[in-house]
Chain A
Amino acid sequence: MEEREKRYVPVIVRFEADGKLRPLEIEFDQAHRYPVDKILDVRRAACQSVGGVGDRYTCRIQGKESYLWFEKGRWFVAAKRQ
């Protein structure tokens, strides 16, 4: 398995009137900003690969599914180690 690390990322989020959060764009770094096309699923889950527990958003980004976690007020992804 490729090595991954817990990377906290800035996320642009829309607060819906009913209190739901909808992540709109992930700013991975200066050069890489990824708009979230669709949220496919939200559920509480543990992140086995890099550790952490929170609300797991399954996002479709550029045709690919990836997970975005919301844990204790911060967003993180399991990023490939560079």
Chain B
Amino acid sequence: MGRHILHVDQNCFYASVEMQRHPELRDKPLAVCGSQEERHGIVLAANYVAKPFGVKTGMAVWQAKQRCPHLVTLPPDMGEYIRFSQMAREIFEDYTDQIEPFGLDESWLDITGSVGMFGSPMTIAREISRRIKFELGITCSIGVSDNKITAKLGSDYKKPDAITRIERDNYRELVYPLPVEDLLYVGPATSKKLRGLGIGTIGRLAQAPTDTLTRKLGKMGMVLQTFALGLDPSPVRKSGHIPNIKSVGNSATTPRDMTCDSDVELMLLLLAESVASRMRELASRCTVVEVSVRDVELNSFCRQRKLETPTCSSDEIARTAYGLFRQNYRWVRPLRSIGVRGAGLVEATAGTQLSFYPEDARRDKWERIDGAVDHLRQRYGYRSIQRARLLADPLLGAINPKDDHTVHPVGYFGG
């Protein structure tokens, strides 16, 4: 027997929440934007009045205002969006306990076991849609299918405030003509490769020879074909289930461009402190350090290095990241943002191979210093203790990467 999966997507979520509480803005073009002072000045969400003007998520605020001069912009209120997300979840919980959130505004629901009690999947979808409208005052679009990928295609198929059922009987008719880019995990790079093979639609991907796809895209080729055929077997992860964390990363768009090695060194120290502190909260150490940068023209790259011994010392992470950076960047252009990630996490309590050499004693010392700093900050606040190095540049040094960062994008594969 097939499963019944719903994908609920709350349309233009941030903008819709703002429209709900500001009735006077409902018929005006509206965008929720990151703060311009700190240069995160991009559109996070736009409403359906603004979209026809060409205002898109991810666009810089000045670009959006150019396209739509009377655009109303509001700063984001994450607390309120989380509250709405939680209230939506409470509605879902009346129908199933198998709820997998994908960001704040999307969720998959496995209602296979609920149809006996609440009626057909379409009935449940209609009820959820009606309740979201009544209880939250915003709209959602819902995809109804037998797997997660197709359910997501369904919720994207018609927006806003719509329900689309895609099952075996109408699958080819609805899905095959869609562009491949509509599939989850077909981003710009994959799209280019697929289009190079003459594959422009999901139907073409479904019917392409598997070995060609594997040759071009590796094992992702096969996965994507399974998606295109509507045969994604992945389960809806149960609510409350926390997957094993495999990496911890932090990045920041700096208040001013970074122009020299010392700017980068300072930022890496700052970010490494936050990454190391989060790893210690998870009682883990990393075995791989990764650094990623993005320049002012938005070109980016990322490099990683495996460590001799697992670490959660901020100093070691920062030094490794800085070494990687020095090796790989020649200052063609100033940098706009930078990130550090600790990957290949292992449990801190697991046995580690000790070395004969004195650097281990040093590492242990550093980790204990970091631990002490954690304690101090927990009791007296983030700014109670700081590296003197950070005071050298008040603008960059003032960022608090650990607490100021907001929502992490989540990976589909539970990575």
Interfacial residues, chain A to chain B (CB-CB below 8 A) = 43-53, 72
Cβ-closest chain A residue relative to B26: A51
Interfacial residues, chain B to chain A (CB-CB below 8 A) = 20-23, 83-84, 87, 133-138
Q: How far is the CA of A65 from the CA of B287 in the complex (A)?
A: 65
List, in ascending order, chain B residues with CB within 8 A of A44's CB: 87, 135
- State whether A53 touches B23 (Cβ < 8 A): no
Instruction: Knowing that A46-B20, A47-B137 touch, tell me 9 more A-B residue pairs with CB under 8 angstroms.
Output: A43-B135, A46-B133, A46-B137, A46-B138, A48-B23, A50-B23, A51-B20, A51-B21, A53-B21
The A interface is mostly helix, strand or loop, or mixed, namely: loop
Q: How far is the CA of A50 from the CA of B23 in the complex (A)?
A: 6
Cβ-closest chain B residue relative to A48: B137
Q: Which 10 interchain pairs have the tightest Cβ spacing?
A: A46-B137, A51-B21, A44-B135, A51-B23, A46-B136, A51-B20, A53-B136, A45-B135, A51-B22, A53-B137
Cβ-closest chain A residue relative to B84: A53
Cβ-closest chain A residue relative to B19: A51
Most A CB within 10 A of own CB, among B21, B83, B84, B133: B21
Cβ-closest chain A residue relative to B25: A51
Q: How far is the CA of A47 from the CA of B22 in the complex (A)?
A: 11
Most B CB within 10 A of own CB, among A49, A50, A53: A53
Most A CB within 10 A of own CB, among B20, B84, B138: B20
- State whether B23 touches A46 (Cβ < 8 A): no
List, in ascending order, chain A residues with CB within 8 A of B83's CB: 72
- State whether A45 touches B134 (Cβ < 8 A): yes
List, in ascending order, chain A residues with CB within 8 A of B133's CB: 46
List, in ascending order, chain B residues with CB within 8 A of A47's CB: 137
Cβ of B411 to closest chain A Cβ, rounded Å: 30
- State whether A53 touches B134 (Cβ < 8 A): no
List, in ascending order, chain B residues with CB within 8 A of A72's CB: 83
List, in ascending order, chain B residues with CB within 8 A of A52's CB: 20-21
Cβ of A30 to closest chain B Cβ, rounded Å: 28
Q: Can you give 20 A-B contacts (C-beta < 8 A)?
A: A44-B87, A45-B134, A45-B135, A46-B20, A46-B134, A46-B135, A46-B136, A46-B137, A46-B138, A47-B137, A48-B23, A48-B137, A50-B23, A51-B21, A51-B22, A51-B137, A52-B20, A53-B20, A53-B21, A72-B83
Cβ-closest chain B residue relative to A72: B83
Cβ of A82 to closest chain B Cβ, rounded Å: 17
List, in ascending order, chain B residues with CB within 8 A of A46's CB: 20, 133-138
Q: How far is the CA of A16 from the CA of B20 in the complex (A)?
A: 31
Cβ of A46 to closest chain B Cβ, rounded Å: 3
Supposing A46-B136, A48-B137 touch, asked if A53 and B22 sit within 8 A by C-beta, the answer is no
